[in-house]
Structure 1
């Protein structure tokens, strides 16, 4: 019996989007939307709409885009949203948002790797808390977040409307450790 070929998995902070990355990103985003999770849109979007969205994310100083890759192709993303500079009181925390992996790329550990990359970046920027929220209907995402040590601190009973139904949403946080300096 032969072994299945190993797949290359990677997560990176995105500073610019190449045309082939936009193509992959739009495909992965719409696949996740169709499957029902992880992005907020309920219907697949036109490529132009998604391109504007992702290029816009790169222009916002308080946002960072992370890409998940499987065999070099973009198959998911997440965003790190930081409070604006003038909000010193809440600078302790940041938000993990719009995190998803396309259904055809699940099972390779990319979701965990994506979340960990966002956590590391948030900690490196001085944040000590990472917050996120998720619809209660997204059981796989909830399972991953809880396995990674996120604490559910609340539930909103009317968090979103999906296909005409009101659904609850859960709110999570995780305390982050300051990055270790070399020699520690």
Structure 2
């Protein structure tokens, strides 16, 4: 007798969001907490209170220079990144956008969501006519380094003492990628 095996492949989706309902903000806070505990807290070293996280994400949605992208696994938000545009008064750097607050919750990794977020943010930057995209990270974040370098980002600088983690200074790496098709 043959038994039909249910397809167990999760549904992985990346999207730009203009707003989030209360449940989605809660999912984003949960994912951020897991990433912070795992050491990928996009600046946070300790999990802040839920109220602080909630206000942070709601504030991101209000900021006109930020676009929020989320990664969903089986419908639930499990990661995010932001495209940060320069302020209007910075005409000299109006060609360049920045990737910031990039993370995937540890239990949601391995489904291509990080690559999907990177592609989505780059596509949005190209659509907005940016010519370059930049990012930075701690030198200890090997998976993020591999993702950036594998996506064609060029490391152009190292900053000693970029972060102070667990009583130790950690270097930082700075990357850029041209979005202009040659």
| Candidates 28, 31, 35, aligned match of 1:28 | 31
TM-score for the superposition, normalised by structure 2? 0.94
Q: 1 CA distance for matches of 2:157 and 2:102?
A: 20
RMSD: 1.4
Q: Which residue of 105, 110, 113 corresponds with 1:110?
A: 113
**Which of 12, 37, 40 is equivalent to 1:37?**
40
**Distance in 2 between residues matched to 1:3 and 1:128, nearest whole Å:** 45
The aligned counterpart of 2:159 is 156
Q: CA deviation at 1:177?
A: 3.4
Deviation at 1:47, TM superposition (A): 1.4
Aligned twin of 2:11:
8
Matches within 5 A, 1:44-63: 44-63=47-66
Call closer, same or farther: CA 1:3–1:177 in 2, change over 3 Å: farther
- What is the CA-CA distance between 1:38 and the residue it aligns to? 4.3
The CA distance in 1 between the partners of 2:7 and 2:155, in whole Å, is 37
C-alpha offsets along residues 8-35 of structure 1, whole Å, 9 cap, x if unaligned? Answer: 1111111111111111101100000000
Which ranges in structure 1 are unaligned for 5 or more consecutive residues? Answer: 179-184
Residue aligned with 1:170, SS: strand
Q: Which residue of 2 aligns with 1:182?
A: none
What is the alpha-carbon distance in structure 1 between the residues aligned to residue 117 and residue 180 of structure 2?
A: 17
Structure 2: gaps of 5 or more residues = none
1:144-181 superposed Cα distances (whole Å, 9 cap, x missing partner):
11111110001001100011110000000111137xxx
Q: Decide which of 121, 126, 137 is 2:124's aligned counterpart.
A: 121
| CA distances 1:121-166 after superposition (whole Å, capped 9, x unpaired) | 1111110100000101100110111111110001001100011110
Alignment of 1:164-183 (within 5 A): 164-177=167-180
SS at match of 2:171: strand
